[in-house]
Chain A
Amino acid sequence: MKTSKKVKSVPPSGIREFFELVVGMDDVISLGVGEPDFVTPWRIRESGIYSLEAGYTSYTSNKGLLKLRKLISEKIRNEYSKNFDPQNEVLITTGVSEAYDLAIRAIVDEGDEVVIMEPSYVSYNPCVNFAGGKVKKVTTELKNGFKPNFEDIKQKITDKTVAIVINYPNNPTGTCISKEKLKNIFKIAKENDIWLISDEIYSDMVFEGEKTSSLEIKNAKDNLILLDGFSKSYAMTGWRIGYAVGKEEIIKTMNKIHQYTMLCAPILSQKAAIEALKNARPDVEEMINKYRRRKKLVVNKLEKIGLDHYEPDGSFYVFPKITSTNLSSKEFAEKLLDRKKVAVVPGTAFGEAGEGFIRISFSTGKKELNLALNKINDFVKNQR
């Protein structure tokens, strides 16, 4: 029987491929995990349990519980003095993954183009392809701290471009972006009348300096589709809960797909997210402090090992360059796994621009982190 040519033409996830190698191996220390090592803070879990006991097991409205939408709208107003109407401009989704897919499908027609910075999160390109769109890549480089170049973006814009996708703090590079650069990217979007999809799932995890949110930019709302969620900040990956905010026009369009395909995000997760926004700030701070200390630990170790890297501004990833070992990303990751039983993700899982790099996640306890980095040190020394 037939399967879709379009789907077949999209390559399988490089992460998945590497996962198959790791699975079944014993005693592996993994620095390849893209989620927090903390379990969801107890107050959030407890409120989920309570919701179950109280019988909250039904659908909600397509857009999600109004109470949660109101809290999100309030949070944005308090932090950035921007108004998003909770009735029409906020959509609760099953994680940012769904929100991104909705945003893309809501704006892309066959042959339309979307500009994406690479290295980038693994789902950005495939979702565009599934929707019949084409990806225009802008390569970011270590020497510029993986920050995109204004001219490079501008060059990729054609009359078929419908959106630019950005993600700061960034997975896999850990880089953030300055307000100035953001302003310029908005300018391109405005001038060309295209959307700016900003995935800010790591927005709370900024270590140094100010948060750099698209919401800070004046008149951002005209072009912005902002995606955020609870997975990373509140350690709620398995709850699958996120949201999109934007003008009524775009939220309405996204909701049209959402209502037929997802109906609504799970009510239990929505209830838990309400508790997260209301009361879990101290838990988040506590986790971010831990990430910050580990980040310092990792970058100082990388310094000693002699692997060139950009010190992450946020997220829980660092993306060191490994070309000094004369190995490709894939060879490095496979050999390291084979010889030292340490798992990292080859940079190529995040696009061609990731060749020569590996992604290290520091969402791992200090003890394992030390052990793994010592092993990486031995491995690199032997390799050179």
Chain B
Amino acid sequence: MEIGEKETEILNILQDDGKISLENLSDMVDLDKDEVKEMVEGLENNGYIKKYKAVINWEKLEKEPAYASINIKVELSREGGYDKIAERIAGFPEVENIRLISGEYDLRIVVKGGSMRDIADFIAEKISPLENVRDTVTHFVLKTYKKDGEKLFEQAEDRRIQISP
């Protein structure tokens, strides 16, 4: 599948609003609904769109799960580089994201758990014992202010006057 200007525009629009109606989307990119539908399906089937999900403010519900960010120092072995160990860690559903980083540590992962205790157990049982993991530092998240580009604190309302020149 070739990614041209229209496809890129569709990706940008969907990244901002995954629930946009097909009608609005096709109006915005100036194509027929059928064409847009086909493009979106193509983007989905070819893995450019991984999935659609909601950015939820769990803090508001006071039911937020615990999060921790863990820096991992990795000892590379002959058999595999960072990819191999990252893919191994990625298999655990507790792990929300994994990034290879520069600096003193090699990987930074974000882990989600029901409680801090759950996370501590998970690190102790699953991550630290891994053969290539030499060192970990765990930072528990105390409060989330911004997530996936969305501010979670109260935002200013529209303060404009209703009619202006």
A interface with B by C-beta (< 8 Å): 13, 15, 18-19, 22-23, 28, 30, 32-35, 37, 39, 121-123, 171, 289, 293-294, 296-297, 300-301, 343, 345, 349, 366, 370
Contacts and interface: CB of A to CB of B under 8 A. Distances in A.
Nearest to A172: B165
A257 to B, nearest CB: 22
Nearest to A20: B163
B24 interface: yes
B125 interface: no
- Top 9 A-B residue pairs of the complex, sorted by shortest distance between their CB atoms: A300-B27, A19-B163, A32-B163, A30-B162, A34-B164, A293-B28, A122-B165, A297-B27, A296-B28
Contacts of B27: 296-297, 300-301
Given A296-B27, A297-B24, A370-B24, A23 B162 contact: yes
24 contacts: A15-B163, A15-B164, A15-B165, A18-B163, A22-B163, A30-B162, A33-B160, A33-B161, A33-B163, A34-B164, A37-B160, A121-B165, A123-B165, A294-B28, A296-B28, A297-B24, A297-B28, A300-B30, A343-B162, A343-B163, A349-B165, A366-B17, A366-B20, A366-B24
A22 B161 CA distance: 10
A112 B77 CA distance: 86
B156 interface: yes
B13 interface: yes
By secondary structure, the B interface counts as loop
Interface in B22-48: 24, 27-30
Contacts of A22: 162-163
Nearest to A17: B163
Interface residues of B, number: 17
A317 to B, nearest CB: 11
Interface in B133-165: 156, 158, 160-165
A39 B156 CA distance: 9
Nearest to A29: B162
Interface of B: 12-13, 17, 20, 24, 27-30, 156, 158, 160-165
Given A30-B162, A366-B24, 14 more contacts: A15-B165, A19-B161, A23-B162, A30-B163, A32-B163, A33-B162, A33-B163, A35-B164, A37-B160, A293-B13, A296-B29, A297-B27, A300-B30, A301-B27
A13 B160 contact: no
A37 B24 CA distance: 19
A121 B165 CA distance: 7
B163 A296 contact: no
A339 to B, nearest CB: 17
A370 B13 CA distance: 16
A344 to B, nearest CB: 9
B162 A34 contact: no
A19 B162 contact: yes
Most-contacted residue by chain A among B12, B28, B161, B165 (CB, 10 A): B165
Contacts of B162: 19, 22-23, 28, 30, 32-33, 343
